Structure 1
């Protein structure tokens, strides 16, 4: 089996997938790639940049086409023209991968029938693990993600302004890079959060991010839409609970109050949920342990990669 994956970056499971698929090449458009005979072309999104490129390549090499939808953007995250392009491409695949049931529902609403739900959450249980009990964690709120509109970090900072009024010793770290870096720093300055806020933009090793998850009392997620987000499950494997908007596979797989607390996109409600957990180490510990159990049962690295790989192997 010879596979071509096309996307913005390689899957974190890229090397492990070779065990099941054999030879895999990767292209990041618009880079030109010398084409050869492929059995399967996988496009990581049904967009003009990735999806159309994948479609054309599959036609040129006479390969089966699979497109993947990794975030809940089909209804609200695309312009009308982008949506039309996505619908056209999605209807011309042998299979479409949705990473959540919500995305599957959206796909079926637009007439895409050959859909399979395969979450893109793969967690190494022996790497992402608890190192510190919540009784010894400081009141640190952590948020991880690209600095883009989707993640809604300004909402989180406005909520945190209310948090420090009631928990003055609370701190917040946002880890990520992106085009909104200057805007986020300026907002933190205007909210007078300089002494309690830190933006970490440098690349962190896996060991460093695991340490950060274990320092944090809460992982905060204020995204408008998501596929996972994977960071919630990485943190959860480290026994760190969440306060999150109702997004992605997280909302579908973890009930409210079990591994964390869900919130609307209301800054005061977000602040209240964060304050509740910061003030209750015992509840955080219990929720964190619940999150780790859910991760081990449903999103363990080897099991989930095998499930993903075999779904595509069966197409040939």
Structure 2
């Protein structure tokens, strides 16, 4: 058996169950490509998988390799693939498998990596870039809007702030702790602080209320948002579906597509989007990366360095 290294699970639990293992190298079947992974993003979806949660359709037979976004070089192309070739530098998304030296995905789950996009950023680009695009699209963000984004300093919020501005939003208000206010201002957002005075702070900037709200916090923050937006149908939450249903807020439709990723990558190539990498860990320290993301603090993205870049 030809094997590869992967940060994988043989049981569910805390970060300590994520360990470096030797597993079989996957092969690219028809319609698929195999990518030699150079970097992979770390997401809360991955920590949920590690704890034992998974969508109903996902096979979590051990060993389980987490990781749902990556960047690397195509090294094997399956039958029927016409848009990718060996040697292509790509970034893409999956559900599981990216915390490994190789990952196999459908050919329509990768796009060419812009030359200006560094490998560490590329590995953590797809999930939050697509998520921001999906959420802002469903909210109907358009030219002239005033947009409120909660937890705006995180990786998802970072994408959303910049994408809303690229789409023509006049004002983007971002909630964050005081330590991240300067960072938000550097992205073009007007920063405000969480807490009891949130509504008053937002009203001071937008006396007539905001047009759309993207929620990455839930709870009382989502409740306060209902009184700040002109129409509830233009709120989406990425984190609190149960409360959203109670408040009459439409649910987000999870529908990832390569077109979303292509557009966000193009926005990066044109200089309209930047992403801060908070910390980079080697693959062997994936457990430490999970501990870091589970603190719930910090700005930007945590990524794994899977292999040396060329």
Same fold (TM over 0.5): no
When Rg is computed on C-alpha atoms for both structures, the one with the higher figure is 1
Output the TM-score relative to the length of structure 1.
0.28
